Structure 1
Amino acid sequence: MAIALALVLVVVGSVLFHLWSPWWMTPIASNWRYIDDTILITFWITGVVFVAVILFMAYCLVRYRYRPDRQAAYEPENKKLEWGLTIATAVGVAAMLTPGLFVWNHFITVPDDAVEVEAVGQQWAWSFRLPGKDGKLGMATTNNVSDQNPLGLVSVDPNAKDDIIIQGADLHLLEGKPIKLLMRSIDVIHDFYVPEFRAKMDIVPGIVTHVWFIPTRTGTFELLCAEMCGMGHYSMRGQVVVDNAKDYQTWLDQQTTFGSTMAQAEHLKTAAVGPSQGEEHPDAARVPR
C-alpha cells in the first residue's frame, strides 16, 4: 500500500510541477509557434501515458496484492491485450510524429522574399555579414581568412564590396522581415541558438547550413552556442537586436562595408611596407543560397 500511495503522489507532484513550473519556454519572438505547438502535443501525449501507466501500476499493487487465500494464475498469452497495446502505441507514436513532419516541411521551405544574412562561428565569438545595396552576399573562402579579412571574403568579387561586416558587435534584424540565416564555421562545430526564435542549427566546418525565421517583436535577445566547442564555449555569446524600420535603418547607416574596410587596411599597409604583392585565392566559391 505504501508503494502504491507513493506512485500516486509521484503522479500528482509531476502534474502540478508541470503546470506551475518556473522553468518554462521563453516567450517566443518568431514565427515558429508551430514548434511550440508540436512540443505541447508531445507533452500531452506522453503525459497522459505517464499518468495512465503509473496509476495502473498503483492499481495493480492494491488489486493483486498478496493474500494467503489467493493463488496467482499463469497466463502466458493474451491476444486481445497484445493487439490493444500495439494499436494504442502505434496511434500515440503517429500522433507525436505527424505534426513534426508538417513543421519540418515548413522549416526547410524558405520564403522567396527572405533576406540572406550570414553568421560565422569561430572560437569563441560570433561575426556576421549582411548584404549591401545590391542585396547579394559576395563570395568567401576560408583560404582568405586573415586579421584584415576575418570572414574570408573575396575582394575581387563585386558583390562582396558592399557587404556589411559586423565583428564584435550585435546583429540587428528588421522586425517582420523573413531572414535566411546562412552559417559557416572557421574552426570547429558550433550551433546558432536564440531561445526566443526557437529555430537552431549546427554550424559545420566545410559546409554552409541555414535556418529561416521571421522576427515578430522588437527587443534584444541573447545568442548562444549550443554545441560544445572547446574550453571557451561558455563565453561564446552574443546579442541579436530586432528593430523597427526606423531604428534598423539608423543602425544600418552607421555600418561600414567590406570594400571600405579593405581599402583602409590596404592604405595603411601600403603606407607602412609598400604596395601589396598578395592576390585573392582563385578557387573561391560563392556562398550557396
Structure 2
Amino acid sequence: MALALVLVLIVLGSVLFHVLSPWWSTPIASNWSYIDNTLSITFWITGAVFAAVVLFMAYCIYRFRHKEGAQAAYEPESRKLEGWLTVVTALGVAALLAPGLFVWSHFITVPKDATEVEVVAQQWQWNFRLPGAGGKLGTSNASLISADNPLGVNPEDPNSKGNLIILGEDLHLPVGKPVKMVLRSIDVLHDFYVPEFRARMDLVPGMVTYFWFTPTRTGTFEVLCAKLCGVGHAFMRGVVKVDTEQDYQAWLQQQQTFAQMTAGQKTGALEPPPGSAGEVATKAN
C-alpha cells in the first residue's frame, strides 16, 4: 500500500514540477517555432505514457496485494494483450516521429532567397565569411589554409575577391531575412548553437554542413559550441547581432574583403576594419 502511494506521489510531483518549473527555453528569436511545438508534443506524449505506466503499476500493487489464501492465476501469454500493446506502441511511436519528420523536411529546405554565410570553426574561435557586394561565396579548400589565408579561401575564384572576412569578431545579420549557415571545421568536431535561434548543426572536419533560419527580432545573442572540442571548449563563444537593415548595411561597409586582406598581407600594411576589436587594440598599442 505504501509503495502504491509513493508511485502516485511521484507522478503528481513530476507533473507539478513541469508546470511550475522556472526553467524554460530562452525567448525564441527565429522562425523555428516548429522546434518548440515539436518539443511540447514530445513532452505531452512521453509525460502521458509515464503517468499511465506508473499509475498502472500503483494500481497493480494495490489491487493484487498479498492476501491470505489468494493465489495468482498463471497466464504465460495473451494474444489480446499483445495485440493491444503492439497497436498502442506503434501509434505512440508514430505520434513522436511524425512531427519531427515534418520539421526536418522544412529544416533542410533552404529558401531560394537565403543569403549564404560561412561559419569556420577552429579551436577555440568562430570565424565568418559573407558574400559581400558580389552576392556569392567563393570556393574554399582546407589545403589552402595558411597563416595568410586562415579560412582556406580560393584566391583564384573571382567570387572570393569581394567576400567579407570576419576573424574572431561578432557576426551581424539583418532581421527578417533568411540565412543559410554553411559550416566548416578546420580541426575537430564543433557545433554551432545559438539557443534563441533553436537551430544548430555539427561542423565536421572534411565535410560541409548547413542549416538555415530567419532572425525575427533584433538583439545580441551568444554563440555556443555544443560539442566537447578540447580543453578550451567552455571558452569557445561568440556573438551574433541581429540588426535593422540600416545598421546591418553600415556594419558591412566597415568589414574587410578577402582581396583587401591578401593585398595588405603582401604589402605588410594590413589594417583591421574600422571599429573592430583589432583596430582598438592597434590604437591602444
Gaps of 5+ in 2: 270-285
For residues 56-135 of structure 1, the aligned pairs below 5 Å read: 56-135=56-135
Once residues 100 and 247 of structure 2 are traced to their aligned partners in structure 1, the CA distance between those partners, rounded to angstroms, is 36
Query: What amino acid maps onto 1:71 in structure 2?
Result: Q
* C-alpha displacement of 1:139: 1.9
Match in the other structure for 1:177: 177
Query: What amino acid maps onto 1:244 in structure 2?
Result: T
Once residues 184 and 3 of structure 2 are traced to their aligned partners in structure 1, the CA distance between those partners, rounded to angstroms, is 54
Once residues 83 and 145 of structure 2 are traced to their aligned partners in structure 1, the CA distance between those partners, rounded to angstroms, is 62
Query: What amino acid maps onto 2:26 in structure 1?
Result: T
Once residues 49 and 184 of structure 1 are traced to their aligned partners in structure 2, the CA distance between those partners, rounded to angstroms, is 40
Secondary structure of 1:17 counterpart: helix
* C-alpha displacement of 1:262: 1.1
Deviations 1:180-203 (A, max 9, x none): 110111111111111111111111
* C-alpha displacement of 1:144: 2.1
Secondary structure of 1:261 counterpart: helix
Once residues 8 and 140 of structure 2 are traced to their aligned partners in structure 1, the CA distance between those partners, rounded to angstroms, is 60
Match in the other structure for 1:281: none
Deviations 1:33-76 (A, max 9, x none): 11111111111111101001111111111111001131111111
Once residues 154 and 81 of structure 1 are traced to their aligned partners in structure 2, the CA distance between those partners, rounded to angstroms, is 64
Once residues 221 and 31 of structure 1 are traced to their aligned partners in structure 2, the CA distance between those partners, rounded to angstroms, is 15
Match in the other structure for 2:210: 210
Secondary structure of 1:138 counterpart: coil
* C-alpha displacement of 1:246: 1.3
Match in the other structure for 1:189: 189
Once residues 15 and 146 of structure 1 are traced to their aligned partners in structure 2, the CA distance between those partners, rounded to angstroms, is 55
Secondary structure of 2:133 counterpart: coil
Once residues 267 and 156 of structure 2 are traced to their aligned partners in structure 1, the CA distance between those partners, rounded to angstroms, is 17
Once residues 104 and 252 of structure 2 are traced to their aligned partners in structure 1, the CA distance between those partners, rounded to angstroms, is 33
Once residues 166 and 242 of structure 2 are traced to their aligned partners in structure 1, the CA distance between those partners, rounded to angstroms, is 15
Deviations 1:194-233 (A, max 9, x none): 1111111111111111001111111111101111111111
Secondary structure of 2:187 counterpart: coil
Once residues 179 and 38 of structure 1 are traced to their aligned partners in structure 2, the CA distance between those partners, rounded to angstroms, is 22
* C-alpha displacement of 1:143: 2.1
Deviations 1:209-260 (A, max 9, x none): 1001111111111101111111111111101111111111111111111111
Once residues 233 and 264 of structure 1 are traced to their aligned partners in structure 2, the CA distance between those partners, rounded to angstroms, is 32
Query: What amino acid maps onto 2:97 in structure 1?
Result: L
* C-alpha displacement of 1:99: 1.1
* C-alpha displacement of 1:86: 1.1
Q: TM-score, structure 2 length as denominator?
A: 0.92
Secondary structure of 2:134 counterpart: coil
Structure 1 runs of 4+ with >4 Å offset = none
Match in the other structure for 1:50: 50
Query: What amino acid maps onto 1:16 in structure 2?
Result: L
Answering whether residue 36 of structure 2 is matched by residue 13 of structure 1, we say no
Query: What amino acid maps onto 2:104 in structure 1?
Result: W
Gaps of 5+ in 1: 270-289
Q: TM-score, structure 1 length as denominator?
A: 0.91
Once residues 199 and 266 of structure 1 are traced to their aligned partners in structure 2, the CA distance between those partners, rounded to angstroms, is 39
Once residues 198 and 87 of structure 1 are traced to their aligned partners in structure 2, the CA distance between those partners, rounded to angstroms, is 33
Once residues 108 and 155 of structure 2 are traced to their aligned partners in structure 1, the CA distance between those partners, rounded to angstroms, is 31
* C-alpha displacement of 1:155: 2.1
Answering whether residue 134 of structure 2 is matched by residue 155 of structure 1, we say no
Once residues 174 and 74 of structure 2 are traced to their aligned partners in structure 1, the CA distance between those partners, rounded to angstroms, is 68
Match in the other structure for 2:141: 141
* C-alpha displacement of 1:140: 1.4
